[in-house]
Structure 1
Amino acid sequence: MEKIKRYFLELSYKGTKYHGWQIQNNAFSVQECIESALSTYFRSPITVMGSGRTDTGVHAKMQVCHFDLADDIDYGKFLKAINGILPIDISIMSIRQVTPNAHARFDAVSRSYVYRIIFQKNPFLDGLAWHSYFIPDLEKMNLAAETLLKHDDFECFSKVHTEVKHFRCDIKSCSWEQKDGELLFHITANRFLRGMVRAIVGTLMEVGLGKKAPEDMEKIILSKDRSNAGKSAPARGLFLSRIIYPEKIYLD
């Protein structure tokens, strides 16, 4: 009997044309596209498990998923062939064998997102950034963002009616920076709730534009009420940027 091996795929994608990561009825997802390509290459049904969901229109500079296979894989041949099968807006960056029980979702130590905001129309960033017509106060937004580090219950930033056991997240870092004419929001945590980053960005932008005060962030978080937070920022500016795993799970 052949021993089943588990592999981690690191991939990136432009999420514009997809209804998020996860497979769903009557909508084309990134996961479905990946599984179709793998099944074609290996000539047998392959299912993958991702590190987590991304919503419709959200992008990933780094997403990770795992799948099982009895065969050894020629990595060089595989990467060239699978990227030839996949559409131009999805790319497999690397493949590594991991321990049999390694899990793309549950073994992730941290996840990072970047949100991009531009202030001038740019055809080369179409669908890849939020074009804001108003320039916010960066200092006020960073002051409000610091409040996030003092709390761990973020129900106020979660989509309603979501099936989670709790709303606790350990936010390790979060800050805004201005770079090359763009405004970038960086945030890292052990986990994120559905819609959480976009809700945070939307709320912080309201602070930056004077619609809310930096001290309002504390009240919003303690209220645990999504209606008290700001409107969600558009999906097109959000990128899943990095996922960290323990080195001990890798076998090569």
Structure 2
Amino acid sequence: MNNQRYFIELSYNGTNFHGWQVQPNAISIQEHIDRALKVYFRQYIETVGCGRTDAGVHARQFFAHFDVENVSQEKVLNSISGLNALLPYEIAIYKIFKVEADAHARFDATERSYEYHFHFFKNPFLLNQSWLVKGDLDIDLMNEAASYILEFTDFSCFSKSNTQTFTNNCKVTRAKFEKTKDGLVFHISADRFLRNMVRAIVGTLIKVGRKEIEPDFIKQIINSKNRSMAGQSVPACGLYLTSIKYPYINE
């Protein structure tokens, strides 16, 4: 049987975790997934995620791949309930499926989508699930500013410094605010995202909504390629990774 590669589709509430990626002296999603796979299949397994989310960030859809040795396909595909029993309640596996040996959860993704959630009145049921914003925001001005983001590709101004990326170019295909029953949600999609990019974009657009800067000033911010020109990063609690697309997965 030898080695076979599989994809896992999962979701998680990131409140009590220090993000996806394994790190010393901190509890991560990947650590729990790898441990469950190791216990279930009785061999060392290390997953590769579709990206990394920061501490407190949630994922409604997340993919990772792993290789398993000398285990039947039937056993792997029927392992979901057993793996979920080994995982904390905040992490849930939904699908496991066989892929080609060179399929890659991170590098093969063609589009990623995020949402950022706001609410404007104290609500205990939104604690750690949405950001409580005080004061009014002008959504029309924020959407005008958001539309300008689609005109650019270099988003250095919204990236954490000293990241190990070869380029800060991203192709953003959607950036829009919508009202919801509980408040407001910002939708953004791109082929890739830089570290902290979405939270920095939202923090900058908030300044537009509060009329601290004009909508078209975002063009100057992006052209500056200077992180200090952009707004502060908003809290992690409102951020959700919601969708990952691959050329070989049909939803």
TM-score (norm 1): 0.96
| 4+ runs deviating over 3 angstroms | 73-77
Secondary structure at 1:22 match in 2 = coil
Report the equivalent of 2:173: 172
Q: Displacement of 1:140 after TM fit?
A: 0.3
Report the equivalent of 2:118: 117
Whole-Å separation in 2 of the counterparts to 1:197 and 1:241: 13
Q: Map 1:158-237; keep pairs closer than 5 Å.
A: 158-237=159-238
Whole-Å separation in 1 of the counterparts to 2:46 and 2:74: 16
Whole-Å separation in 1 of the counterparts to 2:159 and 2:241: 17
Q: Displacement of 1:25 after TM fit?
A: 1.2
Q: Displacement of 1:77 after TM fit?
A: 3.6
Question: Quick one: which amino acid aligns to residue 43 of structure 1?
Answer: R
Q: Displacement of 1:76 after TM fit?
A: 6.3
Report the equivalent of 2:13: 14
Aligned length: 248
Whole-Å separation in 1 of the counterparts to 2:125 and 2:34: 30
Whole-Å separation in 2 of the counterparts to 1:24 and 1:49: 14
Q: Displacement of 1:212 after TM fit?
A: 1.3
Secondary structure at 1:16 match in 2 = coil
> 133-142 or 191-200: which moved more?
133-142
Question: Quick one: which amino acid aligns to residue 133 of structure 1?
Answer: K
Q: Say whether 1:87 aligns with 2:88.
A: yes
Whole-Å separation in 2 of the counterparts to 1:202 and 1:192: 16
Secondary structure at 1:168 match in 2 = coil
Question: Quick one: which amino acid aligns to residue 165 of structure 2?
Answer: V
Question: Quick one: which amino acid aligns to residue 232 of structure 2?
Answer: K
TM-score (norm 2): 0.96
Residues 131-182 of structure 1: per-residue CA shift (max 9 Å, x gap): 0111210000000001110000000000011111110000011100001132
Question: Quick one: which amino acid aligns to residue 219 of structure 2?
Answer: E
Cα distance change on mapping 1:125 and 1:73 into 2, 3 Å: farther
Whole-Å separation in 2 of the counterparts to 1:110 and 1:136: 29
Stretches of structure 2 that go unaligned for 5 or more consecutive residues are: none
Q: Map 1:112-151; keep pairs closer than 5 Å.
A: 112-151=113-152
Q: Displacement of 1:63 after TM fit?
A: 0.7
Whole-Å separation in 1 of the counterparts to 2:216 and 2:241: 28
Stretches of structure 1 that go unaligned for 5 or more consecutive residues are: none
> 178-187 or 108-117: which moved more?
178-187
Whole-Å separation in 2 of the counterparts to 1:160 and 1:76: 41
Question: Quick one: which amino acid aligns to residue 171 of structure 2?
Answer: D
Report the equivalent of 1:238: 239
Q: Displacement of 1:215 after TM fit?
A: 1.1
Secondary structure at 1:35 match in 2 = helix
Question: Quick one: which amino acid aligns to residue 139 of structure 2?
Answer: L
Secondary structure at 1:222 match in 2 = helix
Once superposed, what is the RMSD of the aligned Cα atoms?
A: 1.2
Report the equivalent of 1:105: 106
Whole-Å separation in 2 of the counterparts to 1:232 and 1:135: 19
Question: Quick one: which amino acid aligns to residue 4 of structure 1?
Answer: N
